[in-house]
Structures are given as structure tokens and as C-alpha cells.
Amino acid sequence: MENQPHILVVDDDREIRELLARFLEKQGMRVSAARDAREARRLWPLGRYHLVVLDIMMPGESGLDFARWLRGQSNVPIVMLTAMGEETDRIVGLELGADDYVPKPFNPRELLARVRAILRRANGEGPTVETDQRPIRFSGWILEPSRRRLLSTDGTEVSLTGGEYELLLALLERPNRVLTRDMLMDLLRGRQAGPFDRAIDVAVSRLRRKLEDDGRNPNLIKTVRGGGYVLATTVERS
């Protein structure tokens, strides 16, 4: 039981909760389910969760409000369930630190694929696995792959979500090289970006804030018009 990923499913739709619980348990995972944010808050301290599947549209406290609270407690990966076409809520959720989203109605197997990919990354088994564990230095910052942590120019540890860490590592592994949104999406999530998918843009914006990189005039992660992003700095290992 201890080796099984423990998933917290938060959704006010009983059929969806029961469907996901049965399906994920058949895939070798443990599942706890909550019908709303209030119940999820009660369950949170009772288990060590590896990932949260969170519906945005819930009565009372919304999924976005709960995600905001959750980010104050933990960097646990979050997969949002969003209504089809609700791009604004989706973007806000990503800005709050969600790792991915699946629009409703969804295929459970697609959700499973996203969950497995995120869990692999969280365990250091993703597509950007870092074999060289030496610290990476750039513009006064230090990323320590062995501890998956970022140190600022004054030595303060800066908290990163799993997605932010993977994005930074992908950029550091390819400095001064233009990476398109599709390339980054494939590296981080194993899928191509859709025509209206702003997940990468939101993730870059979050990472810039963590790196104190002015989004209006960035010096570290520069935007290439019509192309993507480039990490414009020297990268060294020590």
C-alpha cells in the first residue's frame, strides 16, 4: 500500500468521483474522494497525497479557491478538471500552480495518462530526467538537481512546483536555444499544444516571477515572437 500513489479526487459529481475511484484503483493507485473543498480540507491532513484531481466548478468554495489554499500548504501536483471552453478558469488555475488540466467530458484513460506522466516527473522519471546531479549555475542562481531545489542570488531557497522545476530544467539543458511552445509542451507533458493552449505561456510567466525576471522586459527567459522562448544566459555546472 505504501508504494501505491495516493490520489485525492475532489469533485461534487458523485458519478465522476466513483468512476475515477474505481478506474484509478484498478490501475494500482489508492484513492480518497471528497465532494467539495470543505471535505477535501478535512481529508488533506489525514493522508500523504501524491497528486490531486480537482474540479474547478463546485458549489461553495470553488476549485480555484481550494487550489490557492492548497498551494499555500504543499507543492503537490494538481490536475484540474475544467468545463469545455472555460479558458479563463483554466488559465487562472495554471497561474495558481496547477500542473495540467483535462476538459470535461473526458476519457478516463486520457486522465490516467496525464496523471502517470506527472507522477513520473515528480519521481524524477520524466522525459527531462537529469543524470548529471551537479548544481547548475546561471545569472547568480543555482539549481540543485539532486535536491530538486532552486537557490536565489542571496542563497534563499525558492519554492518550485513540479511543473516549474521541469520547465526550468528543460530551459537550462538548452540555453540560448529557441524552444517552441510545442517543443516545451512535448518535453513537459508529452503532448502537443492546441491552437488556444496557453499552458506554456502561463508556466513561463510563473517561472519568471520566481526568478524575479521582469515579464515586460525579461532578461533571462526571453520571448521569441512567433517562435517560443529562449533562456538567454550562460549556464555552468560545478
DSSP string covering 35-62: SSHHHHHHHGGGS--SEEEEES--SSS-
CATH number of this structure's domain 136-237: 1.10.10.10
Distance, first Cα to last Cα, the chain: 39
Check if the beta carbon of residue 221 is closer than 8 Å to that of residue 211: yes
- Look up the CATH superfamily of 6-122: Response regulator (3.40.50.2300)
Ranges for all domains in the chain classified under CATH 3.40.50.2300: 6-122
**Residues β-bridged to residue 31:** 7
As annotated, the residues of the chain forming the CATH 1.10.10.10 domain(s) are 136-237
Q: Digits of tens for pLDDT over the chain (238 positions)?
A: 557 899 999 999 999 999 999 999 999 999 999 999 999 999 999 989 999 999 999 989 999 999 999 988 888 999 999 886 677 777 888 888 888 888 888 899 989 988 988 888 777 655 444 456 889 999 999 999 888 899 999 999 998 887 888 889 989 999 999 998 888 887 776 554 554 467 788 889 989 999 999 878 899 999 988 778 999 999 998 7
Phi then psi dihedrals of residue 82, to 5 deg: -120, 150
Kindly list the distances between the CA atom of residue 72 and the CA atoms of 68, 132, 201, 238, in Å, as whole numbers in the listed order: 7, 31, 23, 32
In contact, 186 and 179? CB cutoff 8 Å: no
